[in-house]
Amino acid sequence: MRETTKQTVTKQHTSAHETLERPVPLDAKSDDERVPSTAQRVPRSTKIIAVVVLVLIGLRLDLPIGITVGYLAAAALFPLWLPALGRYRGALTLVLIGVVAVGSGIWLTVLAAPNHVIAVSELAGNSIGLVGLLCSFGFVLWTRSVLPDSWVALWFGLGLLGGVTTDNARFYENPWRFGFSFALTVVILAIAHILDRRWFDLLAVLGLTVVSMITDARSSFAILLLTAMLVAWQMRPTSRLRPLRKRSGAGVIVAIGVLAGVVYYLGQAAIVAGLLGEATRARTVDQLNTAGSLILGGRPELAATASLMAHQPYGFGAGTLLNPTDLLAAKTGMESINYAPNNGYVENYMFGGNIELHSVLGDLWARFGIPGVVLAVCILFLVLRGIGAAVAANRASGILLFLVVNTVWMFFFGPLYTAARLLILVLALTLIPKVPAVTKPVRRKVAGPVPVGRPHETAPRD
């Protein structure tokens, strides 16, 4: 009888030990911030749905008025992913702010109608585009409970790769820079994450950095160089006798910001010295001479954005087109940095039938007003908080670091349309899961031996 009771207690202790040692993804946070485990058996049909829709979202098969096949699939499956929002910090808040922003964009458009031209197709496309982004984010977030993070990134990346188009007139000038760069980087780094070897992560990032350097892709070169530095930083040796101290996520973000500044100045010096080619050097020197800054010279849209924000702080609306007064304000801002705005680019690309300020922050503000700015800030905060926790725990993978650095760049220097799929993936992978409180077992005196303690509860899963 005693032997049987002893075996029962031993088995329960073993079960608890196994529960505590379930594997977590490389980009998981500290022990109290784990991503929900996928160790439990998931039906094959559920995995197939996850994979197919991940690929469809990455592909971006366009339909009329801003709809894509992936957006439709994610919206149709909202009963599947809606509960997942409550299991991650900030997910529900992000979606609610996004819904408010959509309403704000419609309301601002109505207010602007008396003295602006209204493009109904733009109103529908921008509103549906933001709703689709939020639905897709929710779906990809849910897939983390079905697939490991590395496989989520890989399937999404394969969709991105399949969606590379040759319609861009500049694709044949530089297929890497204007076509395959982002998609192939996601796929390669996702594979490195699956292999779970930090040195392979570093080699992959360094190889991609060299490719960007020789293909005149300045921003990609800087992004990948910073990513490589962060991967290398996490490979530093630590003493087993003195375990790694838990660092502050905020402190990590400040350190990354300082490192980004160092990369910027080193990169600029390398370009001016001609290390990235004569054509890149000539273009960079011209931008420095014109605007006094490589960033302002390369992204004059920033000056237009600042001028328009001062001109009309509450934004324009999802379907509003600039009137002559607004256009003059934008051009005046660009002229202030010695940029000549009367070259067709401003009228035809930036404000020709739409408002395109070439930054996630600027586009969200112009189309959705103050709630759009709040949404942009919320996105940036959640992404930085997630990567700060991952780097502080020494668990940030190369793919996660690349996506986050890319997101910060696109936040200020990339169009919302181009950044949409990046935002979907990076938000889904960086959000920190909530962990339910574990109540301590109450010890009671009862007749006969009883198990001491019980297995820790794990995060809820679908």
pLDDT, tens digit, 9 for 90 and up, residues 170-218: 788 888 888 899 999 999 999 999 998 889 999 999 999 999 888 878 8
Q: How confident is the model at residue 101 (pLDDT cuts 50, 70, 90)?
A: very high
Within-domain flag for 47: no
The range of the structural domain enclosing residue 359 comes to: 52-236+247-430
Strand ranges inside 340-417, DSSP E: none
**By C-alpha distance, which of 170, 208, 144, 246 is closest to 405?**
208
Within-domain flag for 12: no
355-387: per-residue pLDDT in tens? 999 999 999 999 999 999 999 999 999 999 999
Within-domain flag for 269: yes
69-94: per-residue pLDDT in tens? 999 999 999 999 999 999 999 999 99
Q: What share of the chain is helix, strand, coil (3-state, %, to 5)?
A: 65, 0, 30
pLDDT of residue 278 exceeding 50: yes
Q: What is the DSSP letter of 60?
A: -
Tokens of 459: 């995060």
Within-domain flag for 165: yes
Share of the chain above pLDDT 90, in %: 57
Within-domain flag for 13: no
Within-domain flag for 436: no
251 versus 427: the higher-pLDDT residue is 427
Global pTM exceeds 0.95: no
> How many structural domains compose the chain?
1
Distance separating alpha carbons of residues 389 and 256, to the nearest angstrom: 13
Distance separating alpha carbons of residues 58 and 49, to the nearest angstrom: 14
Residue type, 418: T
pLDDT of residue 29 exceeding 60: no
Within-domain flag for 286: yes
288-316: per-residue pLDDT in tens? 777 667 777 778 899 999 999 999 999 99
Tokens of 14: 């073993």
> What are the residue ranges of helices labelled H in 313-415?
324-335, 345, 360-392, 398-413
455 versus 239: the higher-pLDDT residue is 239
Q: Do residues 358 and 299 touch, judged by C-beta distance below 8 A?
A: yes
Tokens of 123: 């109103």
Q: How confident is the model at residue 461 (pLDDT cuts 50, 70, 90)?
A: very low
